[in-house]
Amino acid sequence: MLNSNIPLAERMRPSSFNQFVGQEHLVSPDAVLRKMIESGNLASFILWGPPGVGKTTLARIIAHDLERTFYSLSAVSSGVKDVREVIERSRSGKMFQKNRPILFIDEIHRFSKSQQDALLGAVEDGTIVLIGATTENPSFEVIAPLLSRCQVFVLKTLSVKDLSALLERVLKEDEYLRSLDIRVDETEALFRLSGGDARKLLNIIEIVISSYEQGETIVFNNDQVQKRLQKNIVLYDKNGEQHYDIISAFIKSIRGSDPNGAVYWMARMIAAGEDPLFIARRMVILASEDIGLANPNAFLMANACFDVVHKIGMPEGRIPLSQTAIYLATSAKSNSAYRAIEDALEAVRRHGDLSVPLHLRNAPTELMKELGYAKNYKYAHDFEHNFVAQEFLPQEISGSCFYSPQDNLREKEISRFLERWGSKYSEV
């Protein structure tokens, strides 16, 4: 075992931009965030990115460089009372502080609406500078009034180059690791299993090292890393490779119309502490991509499930999640809407910005009318059954078919509807 009670990830936490690895688009000398920091005119912002890419570290470095008082709260364990206490402390200490203090909130997406509302006034009047950290899209998880008062900076998964630099720094600078006989022969498995997560990389290094006997030569190669890790690591890591394997199995079970597989893989995620909104969000996507027009109600149900789980949380949220997964798995399937937009996007990429046909253009001025805008446009409601044949695509791709109804009851009706008007669609 390592002879330090402090985890390697904490021992190696950067204390300056010179030690910080990755995120060059934010921290390089010419980057917008770095310039804002160096100007001293710090505005509230949100750091959005995957786990282990430096969100907390970046906030601490900024506070240190600007000599600001630094308050840190976790949205998992803090409530409105904690937020108000920090704000009150900041207001009462205003006369003694040279600059506004920084309030860092980790996992801000887990704050409820009322908790986020409690921040608004203090952010708006400049009592605090808010730095939020989130792994979820802030557009969905942060209330609009707060989001409008914050800039959003996106952090990226660490590259192989970044991970290599971190590994080199660890082996050179960590006092304990320098005392060991460590040989690095291969890094592919080490980097792949880290998933671009610096914290996870350092945890894997610790796990592998702790699996060796004292005095042994510690060898890092693909075979040794995988073997030693499998003996010491949990089977499901919601931020790692197993996360993606299990969500893949869950999606494929629903797509393959197997409700048993769907609820089993969902149970695996729930038992491991997966964010229920992540599961619900994936079902909303699946309802459009894999069910679509075969059963439009599937999309409504998946969206309702997301809203309900957001409102009631866990553990009760497991019930609507299960209900929705079973409904989607047993529904008719169609990916026609997905294929239609993909084919249409491909046509846009292939043909570029084709001109809108004159008869489809608006003609609000006399000049436009003289130029032929809106000429010969046929208003569908002026014709029997509210339909008249005319072309709605640019001349260069006239007659193209992007949407093809598939073989299910709902889309057979759509096919008959389109065929009735003598269009380019045929019965499925």
Query: Boundaries of CATH 1.10.3710 in the chain?
Result: 351-420
239-253, 256-270, 414-428: which has the highest mean pLDDT?
256-270
CA gap 399, 392 in Å, rounded: 9
- CATH architecture, domain 351-420: Orthogonal Bundle (1.10)
Architecture of domain 160-230: Orthogonal Bundle (1.10)
pLDDT band at 119 (very low <50, low <70, confident <90, very high): confident
User: Which tens digits make up the pLDDT trace of 12-40?
Assistant: 888 888 888 888 899 888 888 888 888 88
Q: Determine the length of the chain.
A: 428
Domain 241-329 CATH assignment equals 1.20.272.10: yes
122 has pLDDT over 70: yes
Closest among 394, 390, 395 to 376, alpha carbons compared: 390
| pLDDT exceeds cutoff 70 at 274 | yes
Question: If DSSP codes are grouped into helix, strand and coil, which group holds residue 182?
Answer: strand
User: In this structure, are residues 291 and 334 in contact, taking their beta carbons and an 8 Å threshold?
Assistant: yes
Position 318 scores a pLDDT of 94
pLDDT at 155 exceeding the cut of 50: yes
Mean pLDDT throughout 330-352? Answer: 93
**Whether pLDDT at 291 is above 50:** yes
Residues forming CATH 3.40.50.300 domain(s) in the chain: 23-154
Share of residues in the chain with pLDDT > 90 (%) = 37
- Summarize the confidence of residues 206-224 as an average pLDDT: 87
Q: Which CATH superfamily is domain 23-154 in?
A: P-loop containing nucleotide triphosphate hydrolases (3.40.50.300)
Amino acid at 261: G
The pLDDT of residue 235: 43
Half-sphere exposure of 117 (CA within 13 A, CB side): 3
Reply yes or no on whether the pLDDT at 210 is more than 90.
no
> In the predicted model, is pLDDT for residue 303 greater than 60?
yes
E strand or H helix that includes residue 184 = strand 182-184
Where residue 113 falls among pLDDT bands split at 50, 70, 90? confident
Q: What is the dihedral of CA 9, 10, 14, 20, to 10 degrees?
A: 20
Tell me the pLDDT band of 428, cut-offs 50, 70 and 90: very low
pLDDT at 240: 52
Q: Does residue 234 have a pLDDT over 50?
A: no
Distance CA(354)–CA(356), nearest Å, equals 7
Q: Where do the H-state alpha helices sit in 12-112? A: 24-27, 32-39, 55-65, 80-92
Q: Which residues make up the CATH 1.20.272.10 domain(s) of the chain?
A: 241-329
Q: What angle do CA 105, 137, 265 make, to 5 degrees?
A: 105
Q: Is it true that the peptide bond before 315 is cis, omega within 30 degrees of 0?
A: yes
Q: Quick check: 325 pLDDT over 90?
A: yes
Partnered with residue 130 across adjacent β-strands are 103
pLDDT of 3: 47
Average pLDDT estimate for 224-247: 66
Tell me what pLDDT residue 384 has.
87
Q: So what's the pLDDT on residue 399? A: 86
- Residues of the chain with pLDDT > 70, as a percent, come to 92
Mean pLDDT of the chain, nearest integer: 87
